[in-house]
Structure 1
Amino acid sequence: MSGQNYTNKLANEKSPYLLQHANNPVDWYPWCDEAFSKAREEDKPIFLSIGYSTCHWCHVMERESFEDEEISELLNKDFISIKVDREERPDIDHIYMEVCQALTGRGGWPLTIVMTADKKPFYAGTYFPKTTVGKQLGLTQLLPTITKQWKSNKDKILDSATEIYDVLNKYREEQESVRGKLSLDVVENLFKNLRGAFDNLYGGFGTAPKFPSPHNLLFLLHYGYINNNQDAVFMVERTLEQMYKGGIYDHIGYGFSRYSVDRKWLVPHFEKMLYDNALLTLAYIEAYQLKNDPLYKQVVEETLEYVSRVMTDKEGGFYTAEDADSEGEEGKFYTFTKNEIKELLDKEDATFIIEYYNISEEGNFERTNILNLIHKDYLDLDDKERERLNKIKERLFNYRDKRVHPHKDDKILTSWNAMMITAYARAGRVLNNDAYINKAKQGVQFISDHLIDENGRIQARYRDGEAKFKGYIDDYAYLNWALIELFLGTSDQTYIHQALKLTDDMIELFWDDEKDGFYYYGNDSEYLLMRNKEIYDGAIPSGNSIATMNFIKLSEITDEIKYEKYARKLFDAFAYKVKQSPSSHSYMLNTYLHASHPKTKVVIVGKHDDPKLKEIKRKISHHYLPLGTVLILYKDLVSADDPIFGDYLVENKDIACYICQDYSCDEPIYDYDEICKEIDNL
């Protein structure tokens, strides 16, 4: 490139990803009517590029091609180029990723689509180098070929685009028309699939790359508990311990990276995503409840400390991600050479930490060291060793903190924030930690203040004073989950009433009255190429899966059967897809497992400041009850005419406990000792 300065139409956007491309010589447009109108007026195809700001290969493609004048000239002359942040516009990303997978058999980011001005795709791929490398076609060859075909054979291209659209749309409609019934046989098939893919030595599933997939772990925890299956529980324990030992966990600054490129969890793809850390916190906290292993508690506390320190806005919202790269190199911020350790620490401390974290001269990542504990059979340290380790880690942290930090994507997404709110609320409830509960409250308040418009419509993204993009099913479902968890953790009925209102809004905006299920975007949003329903539990569980579990929980909390009926409709609507690929729908099957077994509901009513109630609350928090719902109600906050909880009030008793099974409650227990005995027997 020459030294010229460029500015394109992305300069006025708020997305960190779009702003990264605002000075490319490519004449980028954001997704907007102007771009499509221009494509029609100038009779040009659209070059659509979708990615996100912490995506390593997106950075590579930008450096190689989008900052290159030769490529930009080809794009500017013969295409209208559009950039999309997949985290802001997952509705667009989902549709065109499905196109890419259908046409090429694979997907990923950056996602590259060439399409007509009416948004119909005719070419798809992911990363393209500038010039052809082996069988990897380069943009210098691809773009002129498409241009030549567009000018000489456009009718054939348009027919092809229409055919691709028709085939995909017909397939989608056929899939949505097939109803069915789930059974516990499908749950068993999922367990068998996970057991077959399980790595007994290092945990996780498959070989490499390895993804944490916390919803698989949550399924196995619930399956193992319900069926008394120790194999399922072992798979979770081995995976959680080995992930902690590996380099996928940041032993100095805490938090988990996106995935491991190897079987051992040693070399991560260093980007840290908010959603991974939220969902992994939930997996570790549930494992802690079940096994009472202090390591799991430690990981929860350290992960939430990382989120609080690095990923939290001053008003309580949570940022999206940290990049893998710094100074143009992946992982540079996180690794150490042996000489660095020797120069930083005295001889004895250096020897101790070199052995503890398996640091070598040759290193384990590009001649540097990813600190890890994979070589250790056990992790126990005595108090003196633990104190010494923590002091050394503090010195390493302070040294590392002076380096150039990876880029941070500081936009705030409603759905991902809701996941982290859920994690803080659950950790606060289980660990009796009011600071975590307060973090969850602040997160909900941030969403209320900044991401809900004057009409009560949730927006998907907030950054730099701007809330934008009408919320998707994920935003509604995950926020609903967060409100339910916060109610269970605080007993503040405000949250459950907000959850019920949000549920009504979600049904109105997203529900398919003809075929059941939730569409991905609302009936008041921009209509795209098609209106799809997402059910795949990929990096995160789908909005439909989360909504189904929410319906089950709301039914248990409120004793309102209509919510369970919605859950049953969702099971039937998606049964065909789920049965085709159980491993792709682990959270939906976890919900079905939950719905298929008798459930216990415990309601305890007392005064807010009663020390006996506080002790009961502490005691019950240690119980692992994946099929249980525990409601703590404060007499001074519940009205006798409350339609949901009023019947549980007993005016002349200081404390009352109800044990219920499937919408039927036993006589209340008023004696403190007897209540404690019942709790111990749960």
Structure 2
Amino acid sequence: AYLNEHFIPIKVDREERPDIDNLYMAATQAMTGRGGWPMSVFMTPDRKPFFCGTYFPPFARQGMQGFNEILISIHEAWLTKRTEIDQSADQVSNFLLNQAKTPEATDGSPALDAAFLDSAYEELSRSYDSNLGGFGRAPKFPTAHRITFLLRYHHRTQNQEALAMATHSLDAMANGGIHDHLVGGFHRYSTDAQWLAPHFEKMLYDQASLALAYTEAWLLTKDPNYEAVARGILDYVQEYMTHPDGGFYSAEDADSEGVEGKFYVWSTDEIEAEFSAEEAAAFIKNYRMTPHGNWEETNILHTEDLSLFRDPKMQEARKKLLKIRDKRIRPHLDDKVVVSWNAYMIEAFAKAGWAFGDASYLESAEKAEGFVRKHLYENGRLLRHYRNGTADVDGYLEDYAYMGRALLYLYETTFEVDYLKQAKFIAEEMKRLFLREEGGFLFTGSDNEALIAPIIEVYDGAMPSGNSIATSFLLRLGHLTADSDMKDLGWATLNTFGPTLAESPSAYMEMVSALDFALGPNTEVVIAGEPGDTEVESMLSVLRDRFDPNQVVAQRPVEAPKMLLELVPYLEAQTAIEGQATAFVCRNYACKLPVQDAAGLEKQLQE
């Protein structure tokens, strides 16, 4: 009652309005030295913050002010100390304005070259947990973009330590309690360094980033466990997080019946009641359960043997337990369909469908893209999210960047030219709406509500930033289509943020991976011939089986659509010789002699 009487309370969903969340989180961190949610921000009528904080108990306790006391104090200060409040609000607003300025390169700034990749790797390696995998201390987040950078760095340099860091981290996470061993998918983060006890929330973007990491690790190592884990993630999303019309839901909560993790944990008594004595003993041993529990007097399933995910006996046991678990009260499902998160998941399904030769994954990717195209555009403007028939918030930079890159990978895995056309449209709109005169991209569009300070997001957190994905997208699109303007804009964005990257490269790993692509050498592969032709399919199988993140792929039918030739002009000259399947392998557009069989293609790619 006091809040409503003396204030105008506004509750913001940070997933719907990440611009507001980012701006005022920066203010909260500046004023308190820390951030988090729930976040409370008190501001003047012109939206300038003067008091911020994270969690406040309802009433004072253990030396913490209660929310009620804070309301009374702020109201009294508003009446008696208005000048001081306005001055404080102006200072915070000026700080936010200054924060939006990007450092300028100087003569002493490091060059964005291969040596920069070395320094990024060296910095990342210093935070690597060589005992338990992952990076940093508890709480530990998956940060899959660090792992995918390591895979790229190994691909470039053949550095075995980089590969070992990546695979050790992937193994530790997949073995740990952060991984849902019954159905697949990963929880939000681990509260401990051992990857045992997670915060049990499941976020769509974590499923996307980790599915990509395990798929790429499989391509590089051919470790069947990585394929199994990647498939587990994707199968979980198909089964539990997919809208009937194809879009992907946002999250499953951590708690059910008011208790965090209750849905996911087990007692040894439950296992012994469902299996024979021998089977129960094997399961309890394999998943490291104890009668007294391994977490809060109950058991989180985890293991030391990743191959159990493929073990037939353990598969049957897990299926049996899953049927039991599915009868429990499920955590709440957040059924918003967020564009950037969906695009990330579309990319994961497309890449996995391509790598594993699984048509159902490609179908999921295409169906989700169709959902976005049907429900989340208005007069050509991409929107932010959809729920229950409503989509009324404009999309942000990350929505455009992620969607553009997803469309690009959909083209490279299905060769449907409409995806490439739409990717080009998204790129042009992204430039029009978000590009800054001084370089880089704004978080919000030029047609969005103006906030008290512009937002420039570069840091790669749980999800890579919009600027990082935009850079990656522009560079790849420019290379595939031989569009020098797109490539130049990608490089310009790298140079804009170069001084920021140099401060701490490991905080911007997706942007550094974009630099890896920009530095090349890049490979362009064109398969010319009729789609579905036996030799064409054999050639595509060669490409599917390789890990080469700096390779782009196009397919040219014998009768190529005019639109395709306009989008990828070099395809005009790369035709099927005598109507037979023909492969062209080029490095930075310098092409080898064409070959007409899969063995010849494989040989050229290995040279």
TM-score by length of structure 2 reads 0.96
Residues 475, 491 of structure 2: 8 Å contact kept:
no
How far apart are the structure 2 equivalents of 1:198 and 1:339?
38
- 1:410/1:641 CA distance change after superposition, 3 Å: closer
Matched, 1:423 2:351: no
2:524 — aligned with what? 601
Residue of 472, 489, 497 corresponding to 2:413: 489
1:498-509 correspondence runs (5 A): 498-509=422-433
SS in 1 for 2:565: coil
Unaligned runs of 5+ in 1: 1-72
SS in 2 for 1:114: strand
Residues 658, 668 of structure 1: 8 Å contact kept:
yes
Residues 491, 634 of structure 1: 8 Å contact kept:
no
1:150-549 correspondence runs (5 A): 150-173=78-101, 175=102, 182-373=112-303, 376=304, 378-380=305-307, 386-453=311-378, 455-512=379-436, 514-549=437-472
Shift of 1:676: 4.1
Equivalent residues, number: 601
Residues 653, 670 of structure 1: 8 Å contact kept:
no
SS in 2 for 1:520: coil
RMSD: 1.8
How far apart are the structure 1 equivalents of 2:584 and 2:15?
44
SS in 1 for 2:461: coil
1:666-681 correspondence runs (5 A): 666-671=592-597, 673-679=599-605, 681=606
How far apart are the structure 2 equivalents of 1:296 and 1:207?
25
How far apart are the structure 2 equivalents of 1:193 and 1:361?
43
SS in 1 for 2:153: helix
Residue of 23, 28, 35 corresponding to 1:100: 28
Shift of 1:588: 0.6
User: Residue type matched to 2:432 in 1?
Assistant: E
- 1:169/1:608 CA distance change after superposition, 3 Å: same
Shift of 1:609: 2.1
Shift of 1:651: 5.8
Shift of 1:340: 1.5
User: Residue type matched to 1:285 in 2?
Assistant: T
How far apart are the structure 1 equivalents of 2:307 and 2:350?
29
2:49 — aligned with what? 121
Residues 112, 126 of structure 1: 8 Å contact kept:
yes
Matched, 1:83 2:11: yes
Shift of 1:660: 0.8
Shift of 1:636: 4.3
Matched, 1:642 2:565: yes
Shift of 1:673: 4.3
User: Residue type matched to 2:55 in 1?
Assistant: Y
- 1:233/1:641 CA distance change after superposition, 3 Å: closer
Residues 58, 67 of structure 2: 8 Å contact kept:
yes
Shift of 1:596: 1.5
Matched, 1:147 2:75: yes
- 1:430/1:658 CA distance change after superposition, 3 Å: same
Shift of 1:387: 2.3
How far apart are the structure 2 equivalents of 1:500 and 1:302?
33
How far apart are the structure 1 equivalents of 2:478 and 2:366?
23
Runs of 4+ with >6 A deviation: none
Shift of 1:391: 1.6
How far apart are the structure 1 equivalents of 2:83 and 2:234?
56
How far apart are the structure 2 equivalents of 1:340 and 1:256?
23
User: Residue type matched to 1:664 in 2?
Assistant: A
User: Residue type matched to 1:407 in 2?
Assistant: H
Comparing 271-280 with 533-542, which one deviates more in the overlay?
533-542
SS in 1 for 2:87: helix
SS in 2 for 1:470: coil
- 1:382/1:503 CA distance change after superposition, 3 Å: closer
Residues 640, 647 of structure 1: 8 Å contact kept:
no
How far apart are the structure 1 equivalents of 2:41 and 2:308?
53
1:654 — aligned with what? 580
Shift of 1:635: 2.5
How far apart are the structure 2 equivalents of 1:86 and 1:382?
36
Per-residue Cα deviation, 1:388-436 (whole angstroms, up to 9, x for no partner): 2122111110111111110110010010000000000000111111111
Residues 548, 567 of structure 1: 8 Å contact kept:
yes
- 1:413/1:554 CA distance change after superposition, 3 Å: same
SS in 2 for 1:601: strand
How far apart are the structure 2 equivalents of 1:292 and 1:641?
34
Comparing 394-403 with 160-169, which one deviates more in the overlay?
160-169
1:663 — aligned with what? 589
Per-residue Cα deviation, 1:367-395 (whole angstroms, up to 9, x for no partner): 1100000xx3x444698xx2221221111
User: Residue type matched to 1:75 in 2?
Assistant: L
Residues 96, 453 of structure 2: 8 Å contact kept:
no
Shift of 1:187: 2.5
Per-residue Cα deviation, 1:641-676 (whole angstroms, up to 9, x for no partner): 822233322462311111111122233223554334
Residues 337, 387 of structure 2: 8 Å contact kept:
yes
How far apart are the structure 1 equivalents of 2:544 and 2:578?
27
Shift of 1:135: 4.2
1:32 — aligned with what? none
Residues 344, 402 of structure 2: 8 Å contact kept:
yes
Residues 209, 263 of structure 1: 8 Å contact kept:
yes
How far apart are the structure 2 equivalents of 1:553 and 1:462?
28
Per-residue Cα deviation, 1:180-226 (whole angstroms, up to 9, x for no partner): 65344433232122211111121100120100000000111101110
Shift of 1:599: 1.2
SS in 2 for 1:224: helix
Comparing 130-139 with 346-355, which one deviates more in the overlay?
130-139
Per-residue Cα deviation, 1:429-473 (whole angstroms, up to 9, x for no partner): 1111111111111011000000011x1000101000011211000
Residue of 474, 497, 500 corresponding to 1:551: 474
Shift of 1:162: 1.2
Comparing 522-531 with 648-657, which one deviates more in the overlay?
648-657
1:554-593 correspondence runs (5 A): 554-593=477-516
- 1:381/1:460 CA distance change after superposition, 3 Å: closer
How far apart are the structure 1 equivalents of 2:319 and 2:6?
55
Shift of 1:549: 0.8
2:60 — aligned with what? 132
User: Residue type matched to 2:162 in 1?
Assistant: A
User: Residue type matched to 2:512 in 1?
Assistant: L
User: Residue type matched to 2:592 in 1?
Assistant: D
How far apart are the structure 2 equivalents of 1:600 and 1:177?
32
How far apart are the structure 2 equivalents of 1:640 and 1:118?
49
How far apart are the structure 1 equivalents of 2:563 and 2:195?
54
How far apart are the structure 2 equivalents of 1:382 and 1:580?
41
SS in 2 for 1:604: strand
Residues 617, 632 of structure 1: 8 Å contact kept:
no
